[in-house]
């Protein structure tokens, strides 16, 4: 009997390793994420905040369901956590896509020598932001690149003008 108890205690201690994920009613960690159920500042309800490991700001904050007593939040569980991770990951993915779309633009221009793909890549440096205007031939080889103002508007017309001006930096 004592062996069973000490074995049970040993198993219980194993459940609380420093590396073991936290899985509590209001705090759940795993898969690189932490879900934290918090009091909603705007009303009497509850919210859940999803934090990606290493980030100080939540990737997602949303309403959380009240428990049966209508006072306390519903406890987190594995299926709710997996749904929250999926949703928060999608929010981050969309944000990254939007950022990429804002910083990287391209157009294709037909020339006498064939089509050129012209790209504008904005470098959002805090002190000195700039953009690189580049042209690539059909084989993907870069044929020209100049540094331009990050506010430069890439369009088929502006790309065509740049090419016609022998790839000199637009003013």
- Residue 171 has what pLDDT? 76
Distance of alpha carbon 165 from alpha carbon 29, whole angstroms: 57
Domain assignments of the chain as residue spans, ordered by start = 2-76, 103-164
Predicted confidence at residue 20, as pLDDT, reads: 66
pLDDT-based confidence at 4, cuts 50/70/90?
Answer: very low
What is the rounded CA–CA span in Å between residue 26 and residue 16?
Answer: 17
* Rounded-to-integer distance, Cα 82 and Cα 108, Å: 42
Check residue 70 and give its pLDDT.
84
| Residue 138 CA: distances (Å) to CA of 108, 112, 126, 162, 166 | 10, 13, 34, 18, 18
Instruction: Please determine, for residue 13, whether its predicted confidence score (pLDDT) is greater than 60.
Output: no
Average pLDDT over residues 134-138: 96
Residue 56 tokens, joined:
């100080």
The pTM of this model reads: 0.64
**Structure token pair of residue 35:** 């879900």
- Token pair 């420093």 is found at 18
Tell me the pLDDT tens digit for each residue of 26-67: 999 998 999 999 988 777 789 999 999 999 999 999 999 988
| Tens of pLDDT, residues 84-127 | 999 999 999 999 999 999 999 999 999 988 999 999 999 988 89
């Amino acid at each position: 009997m004592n062996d069973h108890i000490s074995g049970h205690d040993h198993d219980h201690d194993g459940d609380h390793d420093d590396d073991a994920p936290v899985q509590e009613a209001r705090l759940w960690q795993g898969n690189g994420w932490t879900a934290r159920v918090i009091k909603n500042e705007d009303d009497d309800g509850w919210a859940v905040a999803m934090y990606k490991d290493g980030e100080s700001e939540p990737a997602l904050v949303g309403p959380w369901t009240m428990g049966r007593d209508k006072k306390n939040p519903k406890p987190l569980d594995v299926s709710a956590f997996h749904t929250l991770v999926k949703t928060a990951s999608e929010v981050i993915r969309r944000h990254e896509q939007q950022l990429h779309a804002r910083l990287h633009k391209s157009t294709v221009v037909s020339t006498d020598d064939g089509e050129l793909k012209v790209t504008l890549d904005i470098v959002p440096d805090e002190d000195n932001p700039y953009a690189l205007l580049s042209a690539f031939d059909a084989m993907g080889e870069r044929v020209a690149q100049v540094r331009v103002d990050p506010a430069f508007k890439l369009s088929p017309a502006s790309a065509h003008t740049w090419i016609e001006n022998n790839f000199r930096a637009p003013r």
